[in-house]
A and B are shown apart, each in its own frame.
Chain A
Amino acid sequence: MFEILKKEMLTPSVCRMVVSAPLVARAAKPGQFLIVRPDEKGERIPLTISDFDSEKGTVTIVTQSIGVSSAKINDKAERDCFADVVGPLGLESEFVSFSQERYAAEHYVFLAGGVGTAPVYPQAKWLKEHGAKVDVIIGARSENLLIYTEEMARVCDNLYICTDDGSKGFHGLVTAKLKELVSEGVKFTMVVAIGPMVMMKFASLTAKELGLPITVSLNMLMVDGTGMCGACRVSVGGKIRFACVEGPEFDGYLVDFDEAIRRQKQYAVEEKEAMEKHVCKIGRGR
C-alpha cells in the first residue's frame, strides 16, 4: 500500500505529502510525474514529483486543492493510504543526460509559479549537484501563498521572490524579474518555466523576446498517463503530441498555449457540479 508518511500544509490550500512508493522512488528522475488515485472511486490524478528518495523508498507530492479529486488527496491524513501511486511517468528532463562539461557551462534560470514551484525543486537540486549554475525566480500572488522558498534557497545560487501585490520581494511578475536580470547583464543559457498555463505562455513569449531557449512542463488532463487515451494531446510545432509519453516538457516556443489552456478546461462544468455535490456531502456529514 502507498502510505502517507508525512503531511504538512504549506498554505491553507496547498499540501505536501511524503508517500511510500519504493518502485517509483527508485526509478524517478527530475521532470517526471506520477499518478495518484486517492481511493476506489476516485480519479487518476497526474501530479509532478516534488522530490524522491530511492533509499527510503519515498516520493514527495505537492497538491493544491482545486477540485473534488485534489481535495480528496489533501483530505487524507498521515498513516492513511492512497489506493494507487503509479510512475514515474513521462520523459525525464533533457539535462539529466548532460555531460560534466556541459553542466559546468550551463546557467539555468527557473521561473516557478504557484504549486509549479514544487517540481522545480528536484530539477534545481539535480543541476546544482551536477555543477551547473542555477537561479530560481519564484512568483505568487501574495507572500502567504509562497511555497518552497527555504528549500529552494539551499539548492540554487540566487533565489528571487516576486509577488503580484508587492507583499514580499520584487513587486511584479516573474517575467518582469527575468527581463530585469537579463538587462543587468546576467547571461542565462536556458529558461525553464513551471506553473499555471498562462504564466508559461507569457514566460515563453518573454524568453523568445530575450532570445533565450525555454522549456515548459505541461500539466494536461490525463486518464491513464501511458499514451492510451490521448486526453493530454497538445499541439507542439503544429503536430499533435501526447504530454504523458512525449512530455510533459516541451519547447515553449512551439506549444500552442491557447489551445492547451482551453483543453485544460474540458471538464470545467462537470468539475464544478461535482465540487458542489462534494461540498454538499461534507456539509451533511457535519
Chain B
Amino acid sequence: MMKPRIQAAEQDPKVRSHNFEEVCLGYKPEEAMEEASRCLHCKNPHCVGACPVGIDIPGFIAAVKDGRFDEAASVIARDSSLPAICGRVCPQETQCEGSCVLGIKGESVAIGKLERFVADYCEQKQCETKAKGKKVAIVGSGPAGLACGGDLAKMGYDVTIFEALHKAGGVLRYGIPEFRLPKDSVLERELGKIRSLGVKIETDVVIGRTLTIDQLFENEGFSAVFIGTGAGLPRFMGIPGENLNGVCSANEFLTRNNLMQAFREDYDTPVRTGGRCIVVGGGNVAMDAARTALRLGAETSIVYRRTEAELPARKEEVHHASQEGIEFRMLTNPVEILGDDKGNVTAVKCIRMELGEPDQSGRRSPVPVPGSEFEIPADTVIMALGTSPNPLITSTTDGLEANRKGCIVASEDGATSRPGVFAGGDAVSGAATVILAMGAGRRAAQAIDNYLKTI
C-alpha cells in the first residue's frame, strides 16, 4: 500500500480571506521526515531532470528522512540560491513533482514543501571564496539577478546589483503577494543571505536612465554586466473603455499592495477595489490579483476565455482561490468596459466563448459565440493579460540586439550581441517562472566566469 502524502497545515479559507498572512504553514520536522520517507530513491530520478536548476532531489530528501536537515540544506545549496522562495512559488506539478514516479498511481512526493521546510529550518551554508578582484554589475534584483549575483560572489567576484525600485527582489517584491511569499520572514531573509556573500544591492538606480550600460563599463569599472530586468511591461486588451477610472493592470494593483503596502493602514498608498472586482486572465498573476482584491473586501470574479483545464496558473493557486470564494467565469471574454458619466467603471461587457481548433501552443483556441454578449456589473477591473520586457535598456544600449517582441537576444548561457554583456530570465524568454529565471541566472554566472578568465 502506498502511503498518502503528508498534508502541510493551511490557514482556514474563511479566516485567511480576510488577512494577508501566509496561506500554507509548512511542515513540522517530524512531518517532513515522514513525507521524505515516501521517496522511492529511483535509480534514474526523473525529478532531477525536470528541475530547471537540477537540484539533487533524492539526495536532499534522503538527508531529511534521517533528520539531517543541515546536510539537506547543503545539498540544495549546491544548485539553488533561493530555496525558501522556490519551495513556495515553483510550478512543481509540471516540474519535479510532475515527473515523480509515485505520481503515476498516487500522489507524488511533496518535493516543494520539503524544499521549503529545509530552507526555512536551516541557515545558509557558506563556502570559502577567494577574491578575484573583478567587478560584475547585475541589472535587476529579481530571481535571475539574485541567482547570478549569488553564484558570482561565491566564485569571488565583486558583485553589485542595481535595482530601479526602492526595495530589492523584483517580482518577488512587487508581484507575489505576502500571503504566498512573506516579505520579512522569507524574502528579506533570502536577500540577507545573498548580501552576506558580499553582494552589494544599490536600490533607486534605473539602468538606462540614471546610468547606462556603457557607463557601467567606462566610468564605474565593471568588467561584465548581467541584465535580469524581467518582463515588467503590462499588456492591455485594446478594447473600448479600458482607460476608464477603475481599470488597472495587475502590475499596478499588485505593486500598490506588495511593494507599496497599500493593504496596511499605516502606509499612504491608495488602492481601489470597490465592492465588485473583475480580474481578466488565468495565470498566476491573475490569481494573485484576485486573491488580493478579495482580501481587501471585494466580491471578486476571474474572467477567462478558455476553460478551467487551460488555466495557466499553478494548480495550488487555483485551488486556494476557489476555496477562498473567488468566482471563476470560464469561456468568457471582455469586449468593452462600460462607465458612468464621471468616467468610473460600472460593468464589463463580455461575450461567451467556445473552444475551437488547437492553436500553435497545442491549446484549443477560444472562439466567440455570436450574439452572446452580456454584462457583469463591476466597480474595478484588473487586467492580468501577461507582460513583456521593458525596452528601457535595449533602447539605450547600442549594439544590444532585441527581437520583435522586445526580448533581449541571448544564447543558452546568456551571451548577448555585446561582448561582456549577458542576459537571462524573463528579459530574454518573455514572462515565465521564478525558477527558470534562476536557472538562466546561474548559467550566465558560469558563462561570465568563463568570459572573465579570457580577458
Contact = CB atoms under 8 A, between A and B. Distances in A.
A262 interface: yes
A85 interface: yes
B412 interface: no
A274 B243 contact: no
Contacts, number: 110
B268 A259 contact: no
Interface residues of B, number: 41
Q: Is the interface of A mostly helix, strand, loop or mixed?
A: mixed
Given A41-B261, A68-B268, A87-B210, A226 B164 contact: yes
A262 B251 CA distance: 21
Contacts of B259: 224
Contacts of B256: 223
B144 interface: no
A43 B166 CA distance: 11
Contacts of B260: 43-44, 223
A83 B242 CA distance: 34
Contacts of B211: 23, 27
Contacts of B268: 41-43, 68-69, 72, 274
B210 A227 contact: no
B255 A228 contact: yes
A263 B255 contact: no
A85 B259 CA distance: 16
Interface string B269-312: 11110000000000000000000000000000000000000000
A84 B259 CA distance: 14
Q: Is the interface of B mostly helix, strand, loop or mixed?
A: loop
Interface stretch (A98-106, A125-133, A157-165, A230-238): A230-238
A262 B245 contact: yes
B234 A228 contact: yes
Interface residues of A, number: 40
Contacts of A147: none
A226 B390 contact: yes
B197 to A, nearest CB: 25
A230, A235, A274 pick with most chain B CB within 10 angstroms: A230
Contacts of A233: 236, 243
A85 B205 CA distance: 9
Interface in B302-343: 342-343
B266 interface: yes
A85 B269 contact: no
Nearest to B203: A84
A43 B232 CA distance: 20
A226 B209 CA distance: 10
Contacts of B245: 262-263, 265-266
27 contacts: A23-B205, A23-B211, A44-B166, A69-B268, A85-B204, A86-B210, A87-B210, A88-B210, A89-B206, A89-B209, A223-B260, A224-B255, A226-B164, A227-B392, A228-B251, A229-B252, A230-B251, A230-B252, A235-B243, A240-B238, A245-B390, A259-B243, A263-B245, A266-B245, A270-B271, A270-B272, A274-B268
Interface of A: 23-24, 27, 37, 41-44, 68-69, 72, 83-89, 223-224, 226-231, 233-235, 240, 245, 259, 262-263, 265-267, 270-271, 274
Interface of B: 164-166, 174, 203-206, 209-211, 232-234, 236, 238, 242-243, 245-246, 248-249, 251-252, 255-256, 259-261, 266-272, 342-343, 390-392
Given A229-B252, A262-B245, 13 more contacts: A27-B210, A68-B268, A86-B206, A87-B206, A87-B209, A87-B210, A226-B165, A226-B392, A229-B255, A230-B249, A233-B243, A266-B245, A270-B270
